[in-house]
C-alpha cells in the first residue's frame, strides 16, 4: 500500500483506504479501481494524496490506531458538534462521550500501535479529521505518560473539541490558500477563547475540557496565545494537545506549503522541546508516532527501495519495490542488517 499524490496514480491502481464523506459515510470503498472519472472528482474535492495498491500487489494487514467504524462515527460526531456550536446549541455529549470511549478503548487495547497513517483530508473535512487525529495522538501521548483512564477521557474529549471555537471565526478566513495576513491572524487567535466559552457552558462537561481548548496554543516560554501563559500555568492537557496539534498541522497539506514528513515534524518538535513544548510530552509524542508511516517509500542501506507496509512500536514491515528482492516482504527487527537511510516519497 502506497501513499501517492494524485498525479502519480494510474487507472490500474486500486484504492487501499476508503474515502469518507463529512457524515462519515463511505464515498469510495477500498478495492475500487481508480478510474479517471473518480480521480477527477477527488481532485475537484481537494484531495491531494490517496492510499493505493499497485496492480498485483500483495495486501499486508496493518495495525491502524482506530477502526474505520470508530473513525466514521467520530467524523459524524465532530461534524454534529461543530454544527451545534455554530447554532449555539448544546452538544450531544452522549454521542461525543461514546465516540471517545471507543477511541480510547481501541488505542489502549493495543499498546504497540503507533500513529502510522497519513490521513486523507480535503477542504470539506479538514477540521473534522484534524480534530480526530489530534484526539488520537493526544490519547497515545497520555498512554505513554501513564495517565489514569478518567484523565485520558477528559484529555481526549478536550483534544477532539479543541478547535470548536473556529465556528466563531469568519469562514472566509479559514483554509485560505496562502499564509494569513496580520488582521486575519488576529481573528484566528481568538478561537481558543471562543472554544472555552462554548465548552464551559456545556452542562455535565468537565471544566478541564474547556481549559484544554483554551490553552492548546499556549507555549511553555510564554510565546503562545491567547493569554501568553508559561510553564506550569499551562495545564498538562493543554501541553499535550499543543504538541499533538502542532504535529498534526505540520504533517498536513496546506495549499501554500508542502506537508512536513513525520520525521521532519518530530525533529522540529524535539528542537523546541523545553522552549515551546514540554520535553516529557515531546518524548511521549516521539514514542507515539511512526517515523516512517505506512505507504512511505524509502531507500535502504543496500541501495534497494521499499515501501513501508506496516509499522508498530515493535516491528516495521517493508515490501521491496526495486532490486532482486522486488515485491518480497521483510520484517525489520532492531538488530536487522537492513536500515532505512532516507524517505523518498
Ligand atoms: Fe487551534
Ligand 1 centroid from CA 244, angstroms: 11
Ligand 1 centre to CA of 94 (Å) is: 24
In the reported structure, the alpha carbon of residue 242 is separated from the centroid of ligand 1 by a whole-number distance in angstroms of: 9
Ligand 1 centroid to Cα of residue 318, in Å, is 35
Q: What is the pLDDT of residues 306-341, one digit of tens each?
A: 999 999 998 899 999 999 999 899 999 877 889 999
Residue with more model confidence, 246 or 175: 246
166 Cα to the center of ligand 1, angstroms: 8
Mean pLDDT across the chain: 93
Mean pLDDT of 264-284: 98
Residue 99 Cα to ligand 1 middle (Å): 21
pLDDT class for 176, splitting at 50, 70, 90? low
CB 58 within 8 A of CB 2: no
42 CA to centre of ligand 1 in angstroms? 27
Q: Report pLDDT for 116.
A: 94
Task: Kindly give the distance from the C-alpha atom of residue 296 to the centroid of ligand 1, in angstroms, as a whole number.
Answer: 28
Measure 291 CA to ligand 1 centroid, in angstroms. Answer: 24
**pTM of the predicted model as reported, rounded to 2 decimal places:** 0.94
Tell me the CA–centroid distance for residue 84 and ligand 1, in Å. 18
Q: State the pLDDT confidence band at 175, using cuts at 50, 70 and 90.
A: low
What number is the average pLDDT over the span 60-87?
A: 94
Which protein residues have their CB within 5 A of the ion that is ligand 1? 163
Question: b/e for 258-296, b at 16 or more Cβ within 10 A?
Answer: ebbbbbebbeebeebbeebbbebbbbbbbebbbbbbbbb
The pLDDT tens digits for 193-246 are 999 999 999 999 999 999 999 999 999 999 999 999 999 999 999 999 999 999
Average pLDDT in the 97-110 region? 97
d(CA 206, CA 199): 9
Helices H / strands E in the chain, number of each: 11, 10
Amino acid at each position: 500500500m502506497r501513499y501517492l499524490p494524485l498525479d502519480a496514480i494510474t487507472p490500474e491502481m486500486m484504492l487501499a483506504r476508503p474515502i469518507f464523506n463529512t457524515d462519515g459515510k463511505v464515498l469510495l470503498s477500498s478495492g475500487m479501481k481508480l478510474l479517471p472519472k473518480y480521480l477527477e472528482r477527488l481532485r475537484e474535492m481537494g484531495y491531494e494524496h490517496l492510499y493505493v495498491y499497485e496492480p498485483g500487489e500483495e495486501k499486508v494487514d496493518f495495525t491502524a490506531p482506530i477502526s474505520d467504524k470508530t473513525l466514521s462515527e467520530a467524523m459524524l460526531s465532530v461534524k454534529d458538534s461543530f454544527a451545534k456550536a455554530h447554532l449555539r446549541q448544546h452538544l450531544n455529549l452522549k454521542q461525543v462521550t461514546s465516540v471517545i470511549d471507543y477511541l480510547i478503548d481501541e488505542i489502549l487495547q493495543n499498546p504497540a500501535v503507533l500513529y502510522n497513517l497519513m490521513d486523507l483530508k480535503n477542504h470539506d473535512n479538514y477540521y473534522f479529521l484534524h480534530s480526530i487525529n489530534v484526539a488520537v495522538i493526544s490519547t497515545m501521548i497520555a498512554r505513554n505518560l501513564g495517565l489514569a483512564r478518567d484523565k485520558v477521557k477528559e484529555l481526549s474529549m478536550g483534544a477532539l473539541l479543541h478547535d470548536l471555537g473556529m465556528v466563531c471565526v469568519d469562514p472566509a478566513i479559514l483554509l485560505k490558500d496562502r499564509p494569513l495576513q496580520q488582521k486575519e491572524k488576529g481573528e484566528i487567535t481568538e478561537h481558543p477563547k471562543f472554544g472555552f466559552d462554548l465548552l464551559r457552558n456545556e452542562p455535565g462537561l468537565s471544566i478541564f475540557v474547556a481549559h484544554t481548548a483554551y490553552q492548546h496554543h499556549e507555549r511553555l516560554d510564554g510565546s503562545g496565545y491567547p493569554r501568553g501563559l508559561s510553564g506550569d500555568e499551562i495545564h498538562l492537557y493543554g501541553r499535550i494537545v499543543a504538541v499533538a496539534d502542532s504535529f498534526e498541522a505540520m504533517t498536513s497539506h496546506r495549499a501554500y506549503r508542502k506537508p512536513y514528513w513525520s520525521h521532519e515534524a518530530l525533529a522540529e518538535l524535539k528542537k523546541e522541546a523545553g522552549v515551546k513544548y514540554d520535553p516529557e510530552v515531546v518524548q511521549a509524542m516521539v514514542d507515539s508516532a511512526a517515523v516512517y508511516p505506512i505507504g512511505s517509500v524509502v531507500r535502504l542501506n543496500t541501495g534497494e527501495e521499499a515501501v513501508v507496509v506496516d509499522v508498530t512500536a515493535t516491528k516495521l514491515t517493508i515490501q521491496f519495490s526495486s532490486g532482486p528482492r522486488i515485491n518480497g516482504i521483510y520484517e525489520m527487527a532492531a538488530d536487522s542488517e537492513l536500515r532505512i537511510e532516507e524517505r523518498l516519497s
